[in-house]
Amino acid sequence: MERFKKIYKQGTIDVIEIWIDTQTGVNYIFHRNGNAAGFTPLLDKDGKPVISQ
């Protein structure tokens, strides 16, 4: 079983994706633009990680 599962993708050059950690349920956002990229937890309005069931 793979730990991370991609559930959303938008764009081709300026890419935004949402990934779920299948062990913890925490959602992560991935953003790539050209050679730069970042992967960080997706937070709700209170600054807490978004967790999927």
pLDDT tens string for the chain (53 positions)? 699 999 999 999 999 999 999 999 999 999 999 999 999 999 999 999 999 97
CA separation for the pair 34, 31 (Å, rounded): 10
Both tokens of 44, joined, read: 């709700």
- Residue 1: per-residue pLDDT: 67
* Percent of the chain residues past pLDDT 70, beyond the cut: 98
- Residue 53: per-residue pLDDT: 76
Strands (E), the chain: 4-10, 14-21, 27-33, 36-41
Q: Which of 24, 30, 25, 21 is nearest to 52 (CA)?
A: 25
